């Protein structure tokens, strides 16, 4: 098949093919913690395994500015490409990455200093902090490269180089596996070894694209001499805030889950949720990949005022995400015993708890794809306000209410059902905005 361009007409097949590298890229990114989790749980212990789930959300919250710059910048750049303004697109691209690097360096320093205080606030016991602080501080040293890598996930799609992103992700996966084995199993460096292995792998996602776009290349974008453009930066930040909010809210929600689980059943509950969180991240990569391509494609056709293609993309995207949701839910249900055995087969209590939690939690996939797609669709339309409302309401407000209220009514099962319940309710405002904002995508 010829190279797929964001200016093309997209059939179902072309949407899937164009999204596959992005899905693979995100899927592999999600496996960094999965791989760390396997080696930490099996070679260090379940307390250390729980420490990852306590510490990692804080690191993620700070690094997620990369998603904001990437998603918001992609929509802005794609719209300029749709208007035929190549030089402007390159200038905005350059400024976005430059700003992302500066901001993430400041956040790295802040994270290293604040980690002990924040860890205690998040509920980490002295035993958990013994494992978590070394892991977190070393991971923060890699924050700038990791953050820029998150930005490039979206920008590589806009540059029509999703396969490059996927190839880099394969390299990072091999790197993470190799170094985790060497540092944790062979050299026995413990949590510090796991953190270094993850940091090295994740950094490649940022460093390789930096080199690629600094040279002449065959993509739509390259770095150029550009003056600081605060208007473009603020526009990208406001438009991409919903994507950052979605991921940031996820980290905050993980913290709330940990609070509830430590209160209700202790470390076993946190260990079980760590597995649920891994599984959710892996399968949700399908929805995130479809959403990332949606932002770039919709942004281009919105800039070109191709409303027929926008309506076609909306119909096809909704159907693809709903179908994927049903298939993923079934697959997660079937694979629950295998996944639980892989991580905590040595502990019967946590093993059984993990299977039950995964099966209830997996019902969220029935609605998650639709909600993620609608939010990304409005980001592509450069309507950051609607996208932000949908994302913040779905990933934070509804989830927080469900996590705090449902356990009071249904106990531990209520906690496992918090995500599915929140995603189901979130479909209502998503449908409503599609109806009242129809003129934005239909002309």
Phi and psi at 57, nearest 5°, equal -55, -35
- Please give the pLDDT value at position 246: 66
- Please give the pLDDT value at position 96: 95
Residue pLDDT, tens place only, 372-428: 999 999 988 988 889 889 988 988 899 999 999 999 999 999 999 999 999 999 999
Residue pLDDT, tens place only, 309-348: 999 999 999 999 999 999 999 999 999 999 888 777 778 8
Residue 41 lies in a domain: yes
Residue 5 lies in a domain: no
Contact 166, 21 (CB under 8 A): yes
Instruction: State how far the Cα of 108 lies from the Cα of 141, in Å rounded to an integer.
Output: 7
Residue 52 lies in a domain: yes
Residue 39 lies in a domain: yes
Stated pTM of the model: 0.70
Residue pLDDT, tens place only, 46-96: 778 777 777 777 777 777 788 889 888 888 898 899 888 999 999 999 999
Mean pLDDT of 222-240: 87
Residue 4 lies in a domain: no
Rg over alpha carbons for the chain, rounded to the nearest Å, is 21
How many domains is the chain built from?
1
Q: Which helix (H) or strand (E) holds 202?
A: helix 190-213
Instruction: State how far the Cα of 192 lies from the Cα of 31, in Å rounded to an integer.
Output: 18
Structure tokens given for 66: 């990369």
Residue 7 lies in a domain: no
Residue 1 lies in a domain: no
Whether the predicted pLDDT of 105 surpasses 70: yes
Residue 44 lies in a domain: yes
Percent of the chain with pLDDT over 90: 39
| Choice among 276-285, 345-354, 402-411 with the minimum mean pLDDT | 276-285
Structure tokens given for 53: 């789930």
Q: What is the extent of the structural domain holding 283?
A: 12-442
Mean pLDDT of 267-288: 81
Whether the predicted pLDDT of 33 surpasses 80: no
Instruction: State how far the Cα of 79 lies from the Cα of 380, in Å rounded to an integer.
Output: 9
Other CB atoms within a 10 A radius of the CB of residue 352 amount to 14
- Tokens 């150029």: give the residue: 224
Whether the predicted pLDDT of 242 surpasses 90: no
- Please give the pLDDT value at position 32: 67
């Amino acid at each position: 098949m010829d190279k797929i361009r964001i200016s093309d007409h997209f059939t179902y097949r072309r949407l899937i093919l164009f999204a596959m590298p992005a899905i693979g890229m995100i899927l592999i990114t999600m496996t960094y913690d999965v791989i760390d989790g396997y080696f930490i749980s099996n070679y260090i212990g379940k307390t250390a395994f729980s420490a990852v789930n306590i510490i990692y959300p804080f690191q993620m919250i700070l690094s997620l500015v990369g998603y904001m710059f990437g998603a918001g910048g992609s929509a802005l750049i794609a719209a300029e490409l749709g208007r035929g303004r190549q030089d402007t697109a390159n200038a905005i691209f350059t400024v976005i990455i430059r700003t992302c690097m500066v901001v993430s360096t400041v956040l790295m320093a802040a994270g290293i200093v604040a980690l002990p205080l924040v860890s205690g606030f998040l509920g980490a016991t002295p035993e958990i902090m013994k494992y978590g602080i070394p892991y977190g501080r070393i991971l923060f040293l890699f924050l700038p490269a990791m953050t820029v890598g998150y930005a490039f996930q979206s920008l590589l799609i806009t540059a029509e180089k999703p396969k490059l992103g996927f190839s880099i992700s394969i390299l990072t996966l091999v790197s993470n596996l190799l170094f985790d084995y060497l540092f944790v199993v062979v050299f026995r460096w413990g949590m510090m070894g796991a953190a270094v292995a993850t940091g090295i792998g994740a950094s490649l996602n940022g460093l390789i694209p930096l080199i690629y776009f600094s040279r002449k290349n065959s993509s739509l974008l390259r770095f150029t001499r550009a003056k600081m453009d605060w208007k473009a930066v603020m526009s990208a930040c406001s438009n991409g805030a919903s994507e950052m909010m979605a991921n940031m809210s996820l980290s905050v929600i993980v913290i709330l889950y940990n609070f509830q689980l430590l209160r209700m059943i202790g470390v076993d509950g946190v260990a079980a949720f760590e597995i649920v969180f891994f599984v959710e991240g892996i399968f949700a990569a399908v929805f995130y990949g479809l959403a990332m391509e949606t932002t770039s494609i919709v942004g281009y056709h919105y800039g070109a005022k191709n409303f027929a293609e926008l309506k076609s993309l909306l119909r096809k995207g909704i159907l693809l995400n709903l179908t994927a949701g049903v298939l993923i839910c079934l697959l997660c249900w079937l694979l629950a015993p295998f996944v639980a055995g892989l991580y905590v087969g040595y502990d019967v209590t946590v093993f059984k708890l993990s299977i039950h939690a995964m099966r209830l939690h997996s019902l969220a996939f029935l609605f998650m794809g639709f909600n993620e797609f609608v939010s990304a669709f409005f980001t592509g339309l450069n309507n950051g306000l609607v996208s932000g409302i949908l994302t913040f309401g779905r990933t934070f407000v509804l989830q927080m209410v469900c996590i705090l209220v449902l356990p009071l009514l249904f106990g531990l099962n209520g906690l496992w059902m918090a995500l599915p319940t929140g995603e189901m309710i979130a479909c209502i405002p998503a449908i409503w905005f599609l109806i009242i904002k129809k003129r934005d995508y239909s002309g």
